[in-house]
Structure 1
């Protein structure tokens, strides 16, 4: 049996405000092409299908089209929910969807109820462990004293192993789980799942099965031969510079036979630029990144006015902007010291100078004085009315 392991689609997510639905649709369409080209039997999606618990109608449409393509390409689908998904919404029509080859495992009650498929060597049991919020899951699993992610995942896997022990010896096993396993490397785009304690769980929790398809971390990672993260199909932060990919997992009569990594296409690449605004706008060396998503750090000694608009005149996909003046900014004083003995206009002028790196012009100072005088009159009128 051949499996394709993917996760963390986060359909509906934006990238620093940029809409990613078209990019997500394109890369998910490529998964269907892989299914057909590589004769994949089952697609595993280990959580975070959507980026939010209540996805937009357009996000639902993109995800639905992706699932339809994968099914038409010939694969069964096994999906569990992640910490970004609403497990109840994602699994709402699980019983009906199963008849069409879409197997949703989003409830605690279904943890030890595997999707049973067969190949020429016999049965394969695929168990889905959704993201387990420790405290609610602890109660639902009947754990009185044990707490934390390790406890609830340990109980979930105990149930999986118990069910597996009651099946025929030739049954091979696969687990989908959405968790942070020790040894995994996070990026800037994952939402923390630490709730009242350590969010990581040891890999030994998942002992006893042939393959574990992990979700949650966005970079492809191998923690052990049978224990892997596929990562997200798109980059969701500028820290994710490694190529995106999926794992192609082969099972034979003995269990795990081979795992191969297949890189995914990149709809739009990422890059970072640093320098003075005028230099970035004029340097021909930057032409190659004109169509990339860009994170730009400006080093002008004075913060440029309308910098993002000017950048997008040359780099239409500039999405993130920082300002770090050459030589560094002077250390900030405590607020009480910064305002002590100063008039209102001096405080405002110093604030502007700290933010922009330059003093306000004479015209700007006249406007500030007028604004402060108007505010003072308004306060006086208010006090008179109160009296």
Structure 2
């Protein structure tokens, strides 16, 4: 049996206020083509299918189109819910959709009820473990310690392993969590590192393959415990990281091979850094004209109208940061020591120099400050 492990589609998410639906549609179209060409039997989606608990009509339509494409390409689908999804909305009509080869696992009460699939080597049990809130489980199981996500996942995996042992066959688990061993830069925006959200990868021992979601960069925690990452880049911290999914071939004794399936990046991310004049005029940056661009401007003085100027050259420049190369830290003297014996005009000039990395007021600014101080003294 051949599986394709994906996660974190985040249908409906924006990128710096820009819709990503068109780009995600292109990626999902490429995914459907890969399903057909590589004879994928099952597509796994390990949570955060949508970016919102109340997705728009356009987001739902893209979701339906993607599922229809995968089914027409010959694969079944198994999905579980993430922390961005509505358990109720995503799980709506789960029973009917299961009969059509689209299997939704969003309720924690059913996490030990597998989707039972089969090939020439026997049954494959696919378990969907949704994003688990320990507080929700406590009310149903007051006799068990459920204070953290690790507690909740251990509870879930105990039930999964018990069911798998009773049924026999190979087992695959989809889970949406933050497992230990993921690089800091790959952590999704609303995860707290450490503390109650951290789950040791050993929690998933005893399963043939674990398809994890929640982290936006691909990661290999072990040969059989992996994150596939998101289908699109959703922050500049993800720039340059591949997008795609893992293709898992299951043999009679478990995982036979795992290979990376590269999916297209409709618009690449570029972080450009340097003085504004160079960013606007350097021919070497021409290739960034069609990219999402974050500009880090290093001029000593913050440029006037810098974003507008950058967008003339880079139409998809969506983020601007002023980070001067030289910054005057003001030394160790206190404010009272720095201003003692100085005129108001000199104090303003020193303040501007401090804020601008050493660049004091221009002649126009100097005249303006002098006039304003004189007007203030006259009013007093």
User: Structure 1's 369 and 72: CA in aligned 2 closer, same or farther, altered over 3 A?
Assistant: farther
Alignment pair present for 1:158 and 2:158? yes
What is residue 4 of structure 2 aligned with on the other side? 4
CA RMSD, 1 decimal: 3.1
User: Structure 1's 189 and 29: CA in aligned 2 closer, same or farther, altered over 3 A?
Assistant: farther
Return the offset for 1:198.
3.1
Decide which moves more: 95-104 or 151-160: 95-104
What is residue 140 of structure 2 aligned with on the other side? 140
User: Structure 1's 143 and 315: CA in aligned 2 closer, same or farther, altered over 3 A?
Assistant: farther
The question of whether the paired residues in 2 share the 8 Å contact of 1:245 and 1:262 is answered with yes
The question of whether the paired residues in 2 share the 8 Å contact of 1:108 and 1:140 is answered with no
- Three-state SS of the structure 2 residue aligned to 1:234 is coil
Distance in structure 1 (CA, Å) of the matches to 2:259 and 2:151: 32
> 1:217 aligned to 210, 215, 218, which one?
215
What is residue 26 of structure 2 aligned with on the other side? 26
- Map Cα deviations across residues 349-376 of structure 1 (whole Å, 9 max, x no partner): 9887766666483686599889999xx9
The question of whether the paired residues in 2 share the 8 Å contact of 1:5 and 1:246 is answered with yes
- Three-state SS of the structure 2 residue aligned to 1:198 is helix
Return the offset for 1:16.
2.3
User: Structure 1's 33 and 107: CA in aligned 2 closer, same or farther, altered over 3 A?
Assistant: same
What is residue 115 of structure 1 aligned with on the other side? 115
The question of whether the paired residues in 1 share the 8 Å contact of 2:137 and 2:146 is answered with no
What is residue 282 of structure 1 aligned with on the other side? 281
The question of whether the paired residues in 2 share the 8 Å contact of 1:219 and 1:229 is answered with yes
Return the offset for 1:66.
1.5
What is residue 302 of structure 2 aligned with on the other side? 303
- Three-state SS of the structure 1 residue aligned to 2:157 is helix
- Three-state SS of the structure 2 residue aligned to 1:272 is strand
Return the offset for 1:191.
2.8
Distance in structure 1 (CA, Å) of the matches to 2:339 and 2:60: 55
TM-score scaled by structure 1? 0.86
TM-score scaled by structure 2? 0.87
- Map Cα deviations across residues 187-219 of structure 1 (whole Å, 9 max, x no partner): 366133349933211111111111100001111
| Pairing 1:56-67 to 2, within 5 Å after superposition | 56-67=56-67
What is residue 53 of structure 1 aligned with on the other side? 53
| Pairing 1:288-367 to 2, within 5 Å after superposition | 288-330=287-329, 359=361, 361=365
The question of whether the paired residues in 1 share the 8 Å contact of 2:150 and 2:199 is answered with yes
Distance in structure 2 (CA, Å) of the matches to 1:106 and 1:329: 54
- Three-state SS of the structure 2 residue aligned to 1:23 is helix
Distance in structure 1 (CA, Å) of the matches to 2:337 and 2:292: 39
- Structure 1: gaps spanning 5 or more residues: 377-387
What is residue 87 of structure 1 aligned with on the other side? 87
The question of whether the paired residues in 2 share the 8 Å contact of 1:218 and 1:231 is answered with yes
- Structure 2: gaps spanning 5 or more residues: none
The question of whether the paired residues in 1 share the 8 Å contact of 2:350 and 2:360 is answered with no
- Map Cα deviations across residues 112-170 of structure 1 (whole Å, 9 max, x no partner): 11111111121111000000122223333445434211111001001111111211x3x
Decide which moves more: 187-196 or 70-79: 187-196
| Pairing 1:190-269 to 2, within 5 Å after superposition | 190-194=188-192, 197-240=195-238, 241-269=240-268
Distance in structure 2 (CA, Å) of the matches to 1:158 and 1:45: 22
Return the offset for 1:330.
2.9
The question of whether the paired residues in 1 share the 8 Å contact of 2:174 and 2:210 is answered with yes
- Map Cα deviations across residues 262-289 of structure 1 (whole Å, 9 max, x no partner): 1111111111111111121111111121
The question of whether the paired residues in 2 share the 8 Å contact of 1:187 and 1:218 is answered with no
